[in-house]
Structure 1
Amino acid sequence: MKDRILPFRQIEWWVVTFLFVSIILSNVVSTPTFHLNFDQSIAYFAKIFIPLIFLASFYLFHMRVFPNFLQDGKKAKLIIYSILIFFGSFILIGAFSVGANFTSDFLMPFYFNSLAVYAGYGAIIYILNQILLAKEDKDFKPYNIIRFVLIYIFVVIFLLQFQRIAGDPITILFVVILPSILTLVLYNFFLVYGLKNQGRKGEATAFYVLLIFIIAVFFTSLAIANGDPEFLIPGIVIIIGIIAILFPISNFFFRKYENYLSEINTLTVKVDRSTADLSFLRSQINPHFLFNALNTLYGNALHENAENTAEGIQKLGDMMRFMLHENNQDLIPVIREKEYLVNYVDLQNLRIKEQENIEIIFSHNDGSCPGEIAPMLLIPFVENAFKHGISFQKKSWIKISLRCLDGSVHLDVNNSIHRSNEEDPERKSSGIGLENVKQRLNILYPGKHDLVVRENELEYFVHLSVKL
């Protein structure tokens, strides 16, 4: 309520709907339909259909025509539809009003009074927006409270001039009963339930007893002043209703509301923590990549007299551009992640392609890879394979399969294990490990990924499937 403007157009619609439905139900229940003559039947149906026509007209203009005008700004369409709604409702309501003898002609005071009430409400809201929303202060709580008060005031004004059709029960409901219930609920929230939650049980009990005492004194005074003990009955009913119904029900909803806020706060903390963890994990990727790339170029220079250095630097440049421009994005095209993976494997092949005891197989579909994926999810598994799966003395192999499907990506990596290879340039490199990837997958793709890791003394196997 403090941080944003509440959706008052929807709130106004539900308030007006509740108002007119209450009027219709009251008219249906309060008027006996048995033995009605013709004139009485017309009046009966007029009290049902006139509120329905008002409600339909309000919906068409307030929820359809005017919001569309605010979006497209077409004044001609606003004027045409407004005229159609006006004359359509005017003729229908006039026909029912004249037929039911609510008025002697089509110039119905209550109809134009209703339009005046709606126009006045709109004018005051416009002025209120110009005054309060023009400020730089982003505290919307005063604005929201004033809007609620204005809605209630104009509902009361409408009921007072619509009373012949609405009837006394609905007027009493909206003018007396509902405000009284709201006042009691707020009294309970701030002075009884609220104080009790703060540990101030003595003060909460005092306010609770004070409320009962005030109601009892008020109705006792009425009974004495009028000399009629029957005035005590409403007071007793109200006190019982407060003790047995209103306060217990409101306390139940207060607890539900607090639990709801607690869950939101818990989720907010988890999201903030996950965001921080994700940022930290991403920050670890850059130095990891740099160390691996430099070690790869170093090993290539040692073994090949710099013949393929230019090609290595070109692929390294492509990878660095990827890191600088796309690694910090939330999602990137899958084809870009694939290109990075291909460049990495090609760069590794430059240093080991002349080693006959090393077999590198990289299969991937040549077509495009649809969809988007979080960056740097696939490469850690391939880096891990080259880090632990290559030996210049022993037979080694790395088999990589990348399949891009519509809506998913599948990566399989199978490699030999040589953990004590002293000549491996990447042996001493610091890496982010699989824990990093697991955390990112849990944060970014909860329930939408499948990660299988198997290992024995000779080989290592990873299968990863991600639903995009």
Structure 2
Amino acid sequence: MNNSDFKKIEFWVATGLCLLVIFLMVINIDRDTISGNFYSHKIYPFRDSGINFSYLAHYFLPKLFSATSFYLVFLLLNFYLIPALIKQTQSILNTFLFVAVFFLYGLSSSIGYTYSQAYLLVTYNNITEAYFHLFVKGYSNAIYVIVMFSLYVIAKTYAPIVLKHFELKYKNPKIMQECAFAVTIWVFVLFLLGTQASRNYYGIIWGFVVPIGILQYGFSLYQLIPDLKNTNIGFWGYLWRCILLIALIGSFIATIALVILQDTDTWPIIFAFNMGVHCLFTTPFTWLIYNYRLKNKSEIRYLKQELGKSDASLSFLQSQINPHFLFNALNTLYGTALQEKAERTGEGIQKLGDMMRFMLHENVQDKISLTRDVDYLENYIALQKLRTSRSADIVIDTQIDPQLNNLEITPMLLIPFVENAFKHGISLQHPSYIKVTLQTKDKTLYFDVHNSIHIKPDADPEKFKSGIGLQNVKQRLALLYPNSHELIIRESATEFFIHLTIQL
């Protein structure tokens, strides 16, 4: 999972929780409403202080204001301010904004407390002292929230570095990645629920039940189910084992909850909810996930077998390209030696030697440096220029970006297009031109070839041949870069043009 996808998940989880809190306030789902004591725990403090309780002014609007400001502060700190401070981008401005967010959020929390806990105003000696204590409480809450957000963003930022360290030590880094993601979401939501002033079942259930689900999911997916599959034990055998496992762990966790919360009513609720959720949801869900992944692995294994067959075809296609060019290059050098009385033969032979070395050592690799592949391309063009240098009507223009971003490419993908251009675009009797452009941006290669077209005489044996290069390279692109390349070919009466884009 990349950083962009995780940010989307963060945004929608935070947005969903904010909307859920507002929704619950609107429909008034509360522990006291279930037991029939409508607003009792909210009304009594106001009534005892001689203040008329207003659900809108003393509960709904302060809670709505608190939830909204909490949500906005999270978005601002998580997606902009703290990452910018970590990267030291515009440090002075962002530090000022960070402090401003703290003061504004503290102010909003304090204002919310003055309404939601207005009954406290009459418990102090004077109104100034009352406001002072409420504002201290508001800013204390702001410190807690902002510190927790900061720790969360810092942990999220440096977690990939830690995961990479573990990937070097563990055979299955996917376990570490999934566990880290699940624990991050659990801690994040637990923190959101923990900011509520009163203890509620949502926080208790999330805090004690969800970790059991994470443990069961990881243990079942990577240990229990594979072992059962090896012994041909099916779903029902897996289910009974999970029930026993959930009961044991659930009893332990519920006992811890009893000790921490000191509430005898909570123990059976946590245990029953834990058994129901994990037996009815987590257990079958994990079984389905495992079988889905097993099916995908089988499909990948089949595709690898098919790819082995394609490799044989690919090797054959490559073998068609290399001897053809070497034969033409040797003919070119021979003609140049006759014309120039061997003055430039040494240069040509050196370039040919570099190219032969390339084909013997690097052409057999799956991926090579784009720089080396471009060197081969430039040597090829230089040899062709030796052949056409005496003709003033032939223009060969190359614009190749020297900065290739340390990218890698499958060898011999680009040369067929240039071969085709020289084969069909050069005439010693008519004006001709070839223009080759190559550049990269990020991890994308852009390659263009323009060339003139000359009608070949009927006696030319090459007239009705499409050329080895284009058909072969189309097949190679389909095999090696499926869904990550774009090849556009246009042809007019006087010009041939190709545009190739590859995501490297």
The verdict on a shared fold, with TM-score over 0.5 as the criterion, is: yes
2:417 pairs, out of 378, 382, 388, with 378
1:36-55 alignment, distance < 5 Å: 39-42=54-57, 43-55=59-71
Q: Sequence identity of aligned pairs in percent?
A: 21
Letter in 2 for 1:376: I
Letter in 2 for 1:107: V
**Residues 1:55 and 1:297: Cα distance change in structure 2 (over 3 Å):** closer
Distance 2:96 2:468 in 1: 66
Distance 2:155 2:83 in 1: 18
Distance 1:51 1:200 in 2: 52
> Is residue 448 from structure 1 mapped to residue 487 from structure 2 by the alignment?
yes
Query: Is residue 106–residue 141 contact of structure 2 (8 Å, CA) maintained in 1?
Result: no
Query: Is residue 450–residue 496 contact of structure 2 (8 Å, CA) maintained in 1?
Result: yes
**Residues 1:311 and 1:271: Cα distance change in structure 2 (over 3 Å):** farther
**Residues 1:81 and 1:267: Cα distance change in structure 2 (over 3 Å):** farther
TM (norm. structure 2) is 0.56
1:200 pairs, out of 231, 236, 257, with 231
Q: Could you give the per-residue CA deviations for residues 418-456 of structure 1, whole angstroms, max 9, x where no partner exists?
A: 77xxxxxxxxxxx9777654544545695514499xxxx
Higher gyration radius (CA): 1
Aligned to 2:84: 68
Aligned to 2:210: 178
Match of 1:156, SS? helix
Distance 2:146 2:485 in 1: 53
**Residues 1:65 and 1:125: Cα distance change in structure 2 (over 3 Å):** closer
**Residues 1:256 and 1:18: Cα distance change in structure 2 (over 3 Å):** farther
Structure 1 residue ranges without an equivalent (≥5): 223-230, 354-361, 391-395, 420-430, 453-460
Alignment length (residue pairs): 410
1:347 pairs, out of 381, 387, 391, with 387
Match of 1:409, SS? strand
Query: Is residue 449–residue 467 contact of structure 1 (8 Å, CA) maintained in 2?
Result: yes
1:57-456 alignment, distance < 5 Å: 57-101=73-117, 105-108=134-137, 109-118=140-149, 137=168, 145=179, 149=183, 152-153=186-187, 155-156=189-190, 159-160=193-194, 162-164=196-198, 168-183=200-215, 185-186=217-218, 188-190=220-222, 193-195=225-227, 198-202=229-233, 205-212=236-243, 247-258=283-294, 289-298=325-334, 306-310=338-342, 313=345, 316=348, 320=352, 323=355, 330=370, 344=384, 347=387, 375-381=414-420, 408-410=448-450, 412=453, 415=456, 436-440=472-476, 442=478, 443=480, 448-450=487-489
The structure showing larger relative contact order (alpha-carbon pairs under 8 Å, at least 6 residues apart) is: 1
Letter in 1 for 2:236: T
Moved more, 399-408 or 287-296: 399-408
The structural deviation recorded for 1:92 is 1.3
Aligned to 1:24: 22
Match of 1:53, SS? helix
| Cα-Cα RMSD | 6.2
Match of 1:92, SS? helix
Q: Could you give the per-residue CA deviations for residues 338-393 of structure 1, whole angstroms, max 9, x where no partner exists?
A: 9955862762798xx9xxxxxxxx9877777799996422354477789xxx9xxx
**Residues 1:5 and 1:337: Cα distance change in structure 2 (over 3 Å):** closer
Match of 1:162, SS? coil
TM (norm. structure 1) is 0.60
Structure 2 residue ranges without an equivalent (≥5): 44-51, 121-129, 255-267, 360-367, 405-411, 438-445, 462-466
Distance 1:132 1:432 in 2: 47
Query: Is residue 449–residue 497 contact of structure 2 (8 Å, CA) maintained in 1?
Result: yes
Query: Is residue 436–residue 450 contact of structure 2 (8 Å, CA) maintained in 1?
Result: yes
Letter in 2 for 1:347: R
The structural deviation recorded for 1:59 is 1.8
**Residues 1:123 and 1:190: Cα distance change in structure 2 (over 3 Å):** closer
